[in-house]
Amino acid sequence: MSTPVKVAILGTGNIGTDLLMKLRAVDEIEVALFAGIDPASAGLARAAQLGVPVSHAGLEAILADDEVRIVFDATSAYAHREAAPRLQAAGKVAVDLTPAAVGPLVVPAVNLEEHAAAPNVNLITCGGQATIPIVAAINDAAPLAYAEMVSTIASLSAGPGTRKNIDEFTFTTARAIERVGGAQEGKAIMVLNPADPPILMRNTLYAVPAAGTLDEAAVRASIDARVAEVAAYVPGYRCKSVVVDEQDTRWGRVPVVIALLEVEGAGDFLPAYAGNLDIMTAAACRIGRRIAAELSPAAPSPTTEVPA
């Protein structure tokens, strides 16, 4: 077995801490540094108790560690845009869990192999990770003129970073519905639900195939196959319902596909209702494993790819 690739996590909040728990279980990866900027961070204290090297010097500590090869950024879109060129200049591959969209937009079940050698990959958003696999699945069976997603999450699972990034969420997710999912036009909406007890993450996808005959059986089979692919790395991911219904649209009266998706968290650190955060850390873990394989001694060095 090859030596584990050393990685760092930047950001010691809920997402960073949940990712830490997941990555510690990955044989191909060694978390060599858990870094933030708050010396009193509960995440730093927890990581230190687990024996993980920690620092409150943030990005500077990571840049100073020559052995770290992959950096998982769980901060904010603004912070990542500042950090990205410095990480690339230092020869460190960035896995971006913010909606900064500096590098190519990646959904593991759709286009991971395309970008496994990129110096910076972007995980889009939680809503994007949940719905774009299904957009792509429908588009494979019936090319889409339009796809719209509404992501509803528990208010308690939306921390300061999520709330600051709502504008980036809608823009980046809509763009990814088009670029990664394949729809000609995309739209994204986020809803924070204050219900008590907190709800699981729920996503409604509304997809309008381009003019032509819709093969409902082919669409359903494509969705089922893609759900299984996502569930392989996000065990709480499931499709609750798929409805094909003829409706009046701006493209005329055509059959549309409505899919209802749900994500339950694995409970590695965060509560089960925080599926919106769990799907991001699970996707990051899946991407990290693939990049680690790319960086292993048996693999060639990563090539430079122009960011999307």
122 is in an annotated binding site: no
Which class for 56: exposed (0-12), middle (13-18), buried (19 or more C-beta within 10 A)?
middle
157 is in an annotated binding site: yes
13 is in an annotated binding site: yes
157 DSSP 8-state letter: G
163 is in an annotated binding site: yes
Pair of tokens at residue 29? 């990866």
What residue has token string 């978390």? 31
160 is in an annotated binding site: yes
166 DSSP 8-state letter: H
Pair of tokens at residue 77? 């879109």
91 is in an annotated binding site: no
* Residues β-bridged to residue 121: 95
268, 274, 276, 279: CA torsion to nearest 10: 20
226 is in an annotated binding site: no
Which class for 253: exposed (0-12), middle (13-18), buried (19 or more C-beta within 10 A)?
exposed
193 is in an annotated binding site: no
User: Does 126 participate in catalysis according to the annotation?
Assistant: yes
14 is in an annotated binding site: yes
Which class for 160: exposed (0-12), middle (13-18), buried (19 or more C-beta within 10 A)?
exposed
276 is in an annotated binding site: yes
Pair of tokens at residue 53? 């090297």
Catalytic choice (8, 93, 121, 126): 126
213 is in an annotated binding site: no
Which class for 272: exposed (0-12), middle (13-18), buried (19 or more C-beta within 10 A)?
middle
Q: Enumerate the active-site residues.
A: 126
Which residues are part of a known binding site?
12-15, 157-165, 276
Which residues are part of a known binding site for NAD(+)?
12-15, 157-165, 276
